[in-house]
Structure 1
């Protein structure tokens, strides 16, 4: 059974229910979302900064230099997902799902909320073409709506360790949504129930094309879930879409 926020996020992605596994999410993303992919060797934070600079995107965050599996660069309701070309196929599969999850949770849903609240007049603000008016700024939770180019690297130190509870929560939600894209919980639980604990992890990895590390983490999420989070995309944005 998935949580309410997870059901909302899957619906917001508009991606079809997977029928074949391992799921080839790349072809579906290209068809249903304004998302493209670029593969770079030895992807790093410095490499992302260089990539942005070559395209005249300003990026001023002071990120600790480190290796990356992937990075989301979103703008105007679309995104480019940068991925490490030297990762294994299984690692790339999960990285793609994770970055798509960030695109849905951190860019697409807040942007859609703003368009519903303010109409087309807010689109130039979201696209970074004009500043928001005082009325727009005082609207509840408007500060959470991405404006202009959005780069999702997440705040970590040089070893990749997450250093804040807020970032950890965002990463966990992106991971959980990524797993749901690649291995829907009902099917994953069915697979786990047919095997012992160790064999179940291996079966999960094989059926859904996950690394063994990712399969182990997903099995832990499903079999020994944390206390359910009271989280909703609607509550996060402070409206049900019908007005404040």
Structure 2
């Protein structure tokens, strides 16, 4: 595991787990970051929208109402992570890891970079307390720094899914970080080396508490042993279940 972005993200996550698997990310993540974990039966866009409205937050979510695996709503360094409480324990575990990954990659790290670049004067802009000056706005656009409320939706199936290369890349990286948090590559490879290729996904599913689709994807990726710097699109887009 030597992709530089992944090393940086793991350090920024500041997550450490007690020995053993499956890892309980729901218990650990809120101890390190200001995160609310929100379980909703039959999680859908409208449920998230109503949750935001009740808290007097902007509720303009893209697209029509549809079922979701999960959702992240982040603002001012804090976030609410939504998951479907009707899903299996393994699905909920991976969904929360995926949303934690989005929080780290798409909110925490860009926010830290903006504060480092602009200084404390930019904090009210990042927190949505004042509008950015023109130069601040342009710099934020060029550096892809999110301002104000930020929302990521984890869709079910193809409808409402990634519709651009940048969105697909963000989803792939969130999946990759989620897998590293729940099933570190070094340990996962050791598990795969103990069994046949056909038995590999089931081994990962059992040992790390991953859902079947994530286990298949991860086993295939590790068996292929891609170069450390390369993140293959096919590794993450091959499964239609997610």
**TM-score, normalization by structure 2:** 0.87
Gaps of 5+ in 2: 232-242
Q: 1:85 maps to which residue?
A: 85
SS in 1 for 2:119: helix
Contact between 2:14 and 2:32, CA under 8 Å: does it hold in 1? yes
Residues 54-65 of structure 1: pairs in structure 2 closer than 5 A: 54-65=54-65
Give me the whole-angstrom Cα distance separating, in 1, the residues matched to 2:63 and 2:83. Answer: 18
Q: 1:204 maps to which residue?
A: 204
Could you tell me how far 1:39 is from its partner in structure 2?
0.6
Contact between 1:9 and 1:105, CA under 8 Å: does it hold in 2? yes
SS in 2 for 1:39: strand
Give me the whole-angstrom Cα distance separating, in 2, the residues matched to 1:18 and 1:63. Answer: 40
Would you say how many aligned residue pairs link Structure 1 and Structure 2? 231
Worse overlay, 43-52 or 103-112 = 43-52
Q: Give deviations 1:66-109, integer Å, cap 9, x for gaps.
A: 21111001011010101111000000000000000000000000
Worse overlay, 29-38 or 15-24 = 15-24
SS in 2 for 1:105: helix
Q: 2:112 maps to which residue?
A: 112
Contact between 1:64 and 1:157, CA under 8 Å: does it hold in 2? no
Give me the whole-angstrom Cα distance separating, in 2, the residues matched to 1:226 and 1:64. Answer: 38
Give me the whole-angstrom Cα distance separating, in 2, the residues matched to 1:155 and 1:226. Answer: 27
Q: 1:7 maps to which residue?
A: 7
Q: 1:193 maps to which residue?
A: 193
- Answering whether residue 172 of structure 2 is matched by residue 181 of structure 1, we say no
Q: 2:236 maps to which residue?
A: none
SS in 1 for 2:151: strand
SS in 1 for 2:118: helix
Could you tell me how far 1:59 is from its partner in structure 2?
2.6
Kindly tell me: are residues 215 and 89 of structure 1, through their superposed partners in 2, closer, same or farther at Cα, counting changes over 3 Å?
Answer: same
Give me the whole-angstrom Cα distance separating, in 2, the residues matched to 1:199 and 1:154. Answer: 28
Q: 1:241 maps to which residue?
A: none
Residues 122-201 of structure 1: pairs in structure 2 closer than 5 A: 122-139=122-139, 144-153=144-153, 159-201=159-201
Could you tell me how far 1:149 is from its partner in structure 2?
1.4
Q: 1:41 maps to which residue?
A: 41
Gaps of 5+ in 1: 232-244
Give me the whole-angstrom Cα distance separating, in 2, the residues matched to 1:33 and 1:222. Answer: 30
Give me the whole-angstrom Cα distance separating, in 2, the residues matched to 1:158 and 1:191. Answer: 31
